[in-house]
Amino acid sequence: MNIKPAKKINGVLSIPGDKSISHRGVIFGSIAEGVTEIEGFLMGEDCLSTIQCFRQMGIPIEIQDDKIYIQGKGLQGLSAPKEPLDVGNSGTTIRLLTGLLAAQSFSTTITGDGSIQKRPMKRIVEPLRRMGADISGKEDGNYAPLHIQGKELKGIHYDLPVASAQVKSAILLGSLYAEGQTTIVEPARSRDHTELMMNYFGGKIKTEGLTITSEPIQQLIGKKVSIPGDISSAAFFLVAGAILPQSELRLTHVGINPTRNGVIQVLQKMGANIEILNPRHVSGEPVADLVIGSSSLQGTIIEGDIIPTLIDELPILAVAACFAEGIT
């Protein structure tokens, strides 16, 4: 691969689908009743691992061109896999599915590659055990492989020690099956893709400030899901358009979820010429077209509550800071 420096860049781009939302589309489509059609799905290895896990649990999933078709079997429609579920390198898959599997009527083993087996799991195992889950693994369930014996769960009140969308999502997936209400209190706001998509499919999630409340439900209904472009991928083009002279890029159908859009706020604070056009809601998520033009950037301070909304974009913001006037 030969990469030559560009003096300027102009054009219209379609950004690859959001990874976090792609995972959740497959999860909720699989436990909903009826067909779910997903367009804009990110065909990356991690998201494909989620598809494979549900196929192992008896869910028919077809990939046709750039669309995914899921024949959901309802909340009680999963079947015991014949072999351990292998998530590959996907931390999202193993953490979210652990919450879902804890409430099933069968036992499962779920694992991943060498990297996954080194990642701590106690942060999700602990609250799920409080709900009644039966989960075991290395070092008392802190590392995969995890062995999960499905149990009847009960709702809990849980104060998250650290803001984590994955921990929150694992609890919320378990809460779909739990007896009684589940309440989660976050120390700071984390990504809310699970709450938005769960409600889009028919869930009963209420959010007031940092408190999320989930009620058990009887069913979810299959939907047509359009995955927005990943803001983390869009960030590279936003910075490129800002720092190169005589440049203008239009990025279409990009997710601008407030729990993820910190990179836009910081670039605007630095003086980037960003326009947010045609804002709308698609499949429960806020989406817009972004236009970025050549800009004279200024140094800034990035701190506090905005950090969780741009944690993945800090490296590319460091690049922007190199081209800004002053200290960042």
How is residue 268 annotated by DSSP? H
Assess contact for 186 and 168: CB atoms under 8 A. Answer: yes
Mean of pLDDT values over 66-75: 96
Residues 154 and 262 in one domain: no
Contact 291, 247 (CB under 8 A): no
Q: Are residues 203 and 265 in the same domain?
A: no
Task: Quick: pLDDT tens for 2-49.
Answer: 999 999 999 999 999 999 999 999 999 999 999 999 999 999 999 999
pLDDT, residue 66, reads: 80
According to DSSP, the β-strands at 205-208 and 211-214 are: antiparallel
- pTM of the predicted protein model: 0.95
Considering the domain architecture, whether residues 210 and 236 belong to the same structural domain is answered as no
Look at the chain and report how many structural domains it folds into: 2
**How far is Cα of residue 76 from the mean position of the Cα atoms in its chain?**
23
Over residues 119-129, the pLDDT tens digits come to 999 999 999 99
Backbone φ and ψ for 36, nearest 5 degrees, come out as: -115, 130
**CATH label of the domain that carries residue 182:** 3.65.10.10
The domain of 297 spans 10-15+228-322
Mind telling me the catalytic residues? 312
Is the pLDDT at 199 greater than 90? The verdict is: yes
Q: Is residue 270 part of a domain?
A: yes
Residue 1 belongs to some domain of the structure: no
What is the per-residue pLDDT for 65? 85
Whether 193 contacts 257, CB under 8 Å: yes
Is 195 found in the same domain as 58?
yes
Residues of the chain with pLDDT > 70, as a percent, come to 100
Where does the pLDDT of residue 144 fall: very low under 50, low under 70, confident under 90, or very high at 90 and above? Answer: very high
Task: Identify whether 328 is part of a domain.
Answer: no
CB-CB contact of 231 with 41 (8 Å):
no
Residues 272 and 299 reside in one and the same domain: yes
188 and 70 share a domain?
A: yes
